[in-house]
Amino acid sequence: MGLAQYSDDGLFAPQKIADAFHTTIADVARTAGLGKDAVQRKDRLRSSKTQKRLREMIEIINKVQPRFGSELIAYAWYRSEPLSGFSGQTAMQLVTGGRAGDVLDYIDAVDAGVYA
């Protein structure tokens, strides 16, 4: 799915993300490595850090969704599947640690047939 389905008025909307993944706004915040205030307070929701983390999470899930055939399974993969070459960390753990670029590079490498 496109990024637009997760946005509202030009911002990533935690409620739309939560609805798409059948979860709560608090869970979306935790999954993106944010505090609950970051997705509940309007001023914090508009911050570049909050929007960047939500965008990174959605980009990664969208990138692997065709592989799994479901955005819910892609979301579960993001949260729970350890990635080889990253000391058993999940995509979620890497994103919360500021390493979303590494996750995207890993997915590209796997898609190209290079296994980490």
Residue 48 lies in a domain: yes
Residue 116 lies in a domain: no
pLDDT in tens, 5-57: 888 888 999 999 999 999 999 999 999 999 999 998 988 999 999 999 999 99
Residue 19 lies in a domain: yes
Residue 103 lies in a domain: yes
Residue 101 lies in a domain: yes
pTM for the whole thing? 0.90
- Looking at the structure of the chain, the number of domains it has is 1
Give CA separation, 44 vs 14, 39, 51, 90, in Å: 12, 7, 9, 26
Residue 62 lies in a domain: yes
Determine the structural domain holding residue 52 and report its residue range: 3-111
